[in-house]
Amino acid sequence: MTTFRFQALRETFNRKPIKFTEPTKHSEAFGINVFSENSMRQYLTKEAYNGVMSAMTKGTKIDRKIADQVASAMKEWAMSKGVSHYTHWFQPLTGGTAEKHDAFFEPTSGGNAIERFGGNELVQQEPDASSFPNGGIRNTFEARGYTAWDPTSPAFVYGTTLCIPTIFVAYTGEALDNKTPLLRALQAIDKHATAVAKYFDRNVNKVNASLGWEQEYFLIDKALATSRPDLIMTGRTLLGHSSAKGQQLDDHYFGSIPQRALNFMRELEYESMKLGIPVKTRHNEVAPNQFELAPIYEEANLAVDHNSLLMDVMGKIASKHNFKLLLHEKPFAGINGSGKHNNWSLSTNTGVNLLGPGKTPMRNLEFLTFFINTIKAIHEYEELMRAGIASASNDHRLGANEAPPAIISVFIGEQLTNVLKELEGVTNGKLSPQEKTDLKLNVVGKIPEILLDNTDRNRTSPFAFTGNKFEYRAVGSMANCANPMTILNTIVAKQLKDFKIEVDKLIANKELKKDEAIFNVLREYIKSSKNILFEGNGYGQEWEDEAARRGLSNNKTTPVALRAKVSKKTIDLYDEMEVMSKVEIEARHEIELDEYSLRIQIEGRVLGDISMNHVIPAAVNYQNVLIKNVTGLKDVFGSEFESIAKEQLELIKSISEHISGITIKVKLMIDERKKANVMEDVEAKSITYCEKVRPYFEEIRYHCDKLELMVDDNLWPLAKYREMLFTR
């Protein structure tokens, strides 16, 4: 009898690579499946075009007549591409994307039919989406949810479906998705960053947050992945002995990309191009079979949509190339997991990156203003920043000596550290003309346009300044970027609002000049937020100790980290910035805790299942082989057999010990699960899952991995690490 694993290995071995040749140049494919400004200009009347553009840039409402025109043009455009269906495309609180396709087709009298798509269908839909998580919102309010068109993110064609990006809200107005709070946060940062940018340039009337994500992932042969119920059900391996060769030789990182993976990437990139996702960079990552892909940064809402869409496209194209795509943060123990860096900056309608230094002292003072306010915001809300990246899967990564620790800190590099030191010494109140000249020419004026520390990246920092942007490095690889982006933009918006109030007060009360007032407030901020700055090694125990002395939080697990999302401070923040109401915040908290418990519950079940139904039977089979061997030896050697069969006897005993270890621990784990499952309180339940159920995973795994080393390779049913990680 061959095991499923051997069939899978044979299938993998015999794979013919799926070739892909780009039908056209990337530049010709770019955006062809997007109802972009260009297609709108072509398909819309001038009136309708102006209506959509003004909704996109100024947030004005689109009236019914124009919506009808836009819908009809969209339909025409989509049908020219062979499209038959449309869908409102949204991002429910599951973290993924959702779509429900409706045909354009509509029967008319006399047995005929037409293709119809009107303003009503474009603007609003009521999907029967009662099974999406809502944290009790819809039950409490007895209201259904509806989706509403987000004209700031263009419609696109995916397959044979026209996808219209939408928000998803309850009839009572509460957000039920990831996009709605993000859009509100982006409005807040626009408003407050614009007000501050006006100190430096009156022509600024809009500030956009930009996001450039970097997506890490693994590709595993589909057949091998299928032999692993844990990979299929949980996205990670719950057991598996480490491979003799892992990443220790560093021979994968930036190495030549394996042909099969390259074919996948080429097709993925071409598809992304057509969808207007400006992918630019690809390379091997640190772990074997791990890769990364990054686009050119875009306006944050669009970038979030593009990342969500890309994760979906990736899975489909991977499958076509006979790969299983793994976006889990820690699919394999003992080698690096995956993350998703979120590069973030702020840019004005006048073309200035507020987080990049410039040529003049005034421009650099503006840069410092936004730079220091961001640091201050992170200091003020570090615990919320940590909460924003919390998930059962990301818990494996944060603080695991390969990813940033669970402690949030900011890395700014040596040059800017020195600039902040100088600014800290600025005189209180009015500045003498000499002091002003000094500051402007020798401190602010000396910040080079290109910061050298740019290259000196501290990879252990969760939030690092990298020359003209901050890089939020602790985001999970399978996370929806909307969540961390909502938090970051909201806290910086709030900080900029407070900053402007303080500066204006100093100008009014003390009759300080504008730049004096700005220097004064920034000096105080540098002093009060210094504790968040850290340039050292974030992996060491020393930093944990130092961070504790500094009073920084170190929330290692999701249920605990999530508390910051419902603190009074957060509720006040979201209320003031008009990002989320208390009801919305509490509903989300409940959903996230519930999701945590469910994920651990599923992992517990799958682990119990694999260890009892796959591992133990294989071990018993092998043990029987050994027993037969020993009995044979006894027949041959008589009383001498015990010394001759010593090793086999040890092995038989040892197998029994591990079998009993698994059996006992699986039972104990199930008992703990039962206790957790009857708990009413969602937080208590998640904490029980975290503290009582989860610790058994490692213990059970220990016995299974030991058995993997003992049992005849021919009998082992699950694809091994060395096979999943090194087959090409």
Q: Figure out which of the listed residues 68, 121, 150, 214 binds ligand ADP, where binding follows CB under 6 A.
A: 214
Stretch that binds ligand ADP, among 103-111, 249-257, 463-471, 561-569 (CB under 6 A): 463-471
Alpha-carbon distance of 341 to 644, in angstroms, equals 58
Q: Figure out which of the listed residues 40, 137, 238, 294 binds ligand ADP, where binding follows CB under 6 A.
A: 294
Q: In this complex, which beta carbon is closest to ligand ADP, that of residue 343 or of residue 348?
A: 343
Q: In this complex, which beta carbon is closest to ligand ADP, that of residue 6 or of residue 253?
A: 253
Stretch that binds ligand ADP, among 30-38, 59-67, 208-216, 408-416 (CB under 6 A): 208-216
The answer to the question of residue 212 lying near ligand ADP (CB under 6 A) is yes
Q: Which residues pair with 283 in a beta bridge?
A: 292
The distance of closest approach from Cβ of residue 391 to ligand ADP in the complex, given in angstroms and rounded to an integer, is: 22
Output the six-digit token pair for 82: 């062979």
The answer to the question of residue 353 lying near ligand ADP (CB under 6 A) is yes
Q: Figure out which of the listed residues 321, 324, 376, 469 binds ligand ADP, where binding follows CB under 6 A.
A: 469
The answer to the question of residue 374 lying near ligand ADP (CB under 6 A) is no
* HSE value, Cβ hemisphere, 13 Å, CA-based, for 594: 15
Stretch that binds ligand ADP, among 234-242, 395-403, 461-469, 644-652 (CB under 6 A): 461-469
- Angle at CA of residue 116, ends 146 and 173, nearest 5°: 10
Q: In this complex, which beta carbon is closest to ligand ADP, that of residue 194 or of residue 468?
A: 468
The answer to the question of residue 91 lying near ligand ADP (CB under 6 A) is no
Q: Are 327 and 235 in contact (CB under 8 A)?
A: yes
- Nearest residue relative to ligand ADP (C-beta): 212
Is 229 buried (19+), middle (13-18) or exposed (0-12) by CB count in 10 A? middle
Q: In this complex, which beta carbon is closest to ligand ADP, that of residue 50 or of residue 281?
A: 281
Q: Figure out which of the listed residues 345, 391, 490, 686 binds ligand ADP, where binding follows CB under 6 A.
A: 345
The distance of closest approach from Cβ of residue 303 to ligand ADP in the complex, given in angstroms and rounded to an integer, is: 8
Q: In this complex, which beta carbon is closest to ligand ADP, that of residue 355 or of residue 630?
A: 355
Q: Which residues pair with 208 in a beta bridge?
A: 347
Q: Which residues pair with 58 in a beta bridge?
A: none
Q: Quick one: what does residue 464 bind among Mg ion, ligand ADP, none, with the CB cut-off 5 to 8 Å set by partner type?
A: none
Positions touching Mg ion (CB under 5 A) are 341
The answer to the question of residue 629 lying near ligand ADP (CB under 6 A) is no
Residues 96-135 as x/- pattern, contact with ligand ADP by CB under 6 A = ----------------------------------------
The distance of closest approach from Cβ of residue 466 to ligand ADP in the complex, given in angstroms and rounded to an integer, is: 6
The answer to the question of residue 296 lying near ligand ADP (CB under 6 A) is yes
Q: Which residues contact 22 (CB under 8 A, 6 or more apart)?
A: 29, 266, 270
The answer to the question of residue 452 lying near ligand ADP (CB under 6 A) is no
Is 644 buried (19+), middle (13-18) or exposed (0-12) by CB count in 10 A? middle
Residue 276: CB atoms within 10 Å: 21
Q: Looking at the chain, how many residues does it have?
A: 728
Q: Which residues contact 438 (CB under 8 A, 6 or more apart)?
A: none
Q: Helix crossing, 568-576 with 482-509: angle to 10°?
A: 70
Q: Which residues pair with 34 in a beta bridge?
A: 156
Alpha-carbon distance of 188 to 486, in angstroms, equals 10
The answer to the question of residue 558 lying near ligand ADP (CB under 6 A) is no
The answer to the question of residue 210 lying near ligand ADP (CB under 6 A) is yes
Q: Figure out which of the listed residues 94, 140, 468, 648 binds ligand ADP, where binding follows CB under 6 A.
A: 468
Alpha-carbon distance of 178 to 484, in angstroms, equals 10
Q: Map 562-590 to HEC letters.
A: HHHHHCHHHHHHHHHCCCCCHHHHHHHHH
Alpha-carbon distance of 447 to 43, in angstroms, equals 48
Q: Quick one: what does residue 295 bind among Mg ion, ligand ADP, none, with the CB cut-off 5 to 8 Å set by partner type?
A: ligand ADP
The answer to the question of residue 450 lying near ligand ADP (CB under 6 A) is no
DSSP code per residue over 442-506: IIITT--SS-GGGT---TT-SEEE-SSSEEE---BTTS-THHHHHHHHHHHHHHHHHHHHHHHHH
The distance of closest approach from Cβ of residue 292 to ligand ADP in the complex, given in angstroms and rounded to an integer, is: 8
Q: In this complex, which beta carbon is closest to ligand ADP, that of residue 91 or of residue 345?
A: 345
Q: Which residues contact 718 (CB under 8 A, 6 or more apart)?
A: 5, 227, 228, 239, 240, 610, 614, 615
Stretch that binds ligand ADP, among 10-18, 318-326, 462-470, 509-517 (CB under 6 A): 462-470
| Count of residues near ligand ADP by CB under 6 A | 14
DSSP code per residue over 498-525: HHHHHHHHHHHHS---HHHHHHHHHHHH
Q: In this complex, which beta carbon is closest to Mg ion, that of residue 228 or of residue 340?
A: 340
Q: Which residues contact 571 (CB under 8 A, 6 or more apart)?
A: 582, 585
Stretch that binds ligand ADP, among 109-117, 340-348, 406-414, 577-585 (CB under 6 A): 340-348
Alpha-carbon distance of 521 to 542, in angstroms, equals 32
Output the six-digit token pair for 501: 């109030």
The answer to the question of residue 226 lying near ligand ADP (CB under 6 A) is no
Q: In this complex, which beta carbon is closest to ligand ADP, that of residue 364 or of residue 466?
A: 466
Q: Quick one: what does residue 627 bind among Mg ion, ligand ADP, none, with the CB cut-off 5 to 8 Å set by partner type?
A: none
Residue 224 CA from chain centroid, whole number: 26
- Nearest residue relative to Mg ion (C-beta): 341
Q: In this complex, which beta carbon is closest to ligand ADP, that of residue 211 or of residue 669?
A: 211
Q: Quick one: what does residue 324 bind among Mg ion, ligand ADP, none, with the CB cut-off 5 to 8 Å set by partner type?
A: none
Q: In this complex, which beta carbon is closest to ligand ADP, that of residue 212 or of residue 388?
A: 212
The distance of closest approach from Cβ of residue 453 to ligand ADP in the complex, given in angstroms and rounded to an integer, is: 13
Q: In this complex, which beta carbon is closest to ligand ADP, that of residue 70 or of residue 488?
A: 488
Output the six-digit token pair for 684: 């208590």
Q: In this complex, which beta carbon is closest to ligand ADP, that of residue 466 or of residue 597?
A: 466
Q: Figure out which of the listed residues 147, 466, 529, 686 binds ligand ADP, where binding follows CB under 6 A.
A: 466
Q: Quick one: what does residue 468 bind among ligand ADP, Mg ion, none, with the CB cut-off 5 to 8 Å set by partner type?
A: ligand ADP
The distance of closest approach from Cβ of residue 707 to ligand ADP in the complex, given in angstroms and rounded to an integer, is: 41
Q: In this complex, which beta carbon is closest to ligand ADP, that of residue 334 or of residue 448?
A: 448
- What sign has the CA pseudo-torsion 578, 584, 590, 596? negative
Alpha-carbon distance of 153 to 160, in angstroms, equals 19
Interaction site with ligand ADP (CB under 6 A): 210, 212, 214, 294-297, 343-345, 353, 466, 468-469
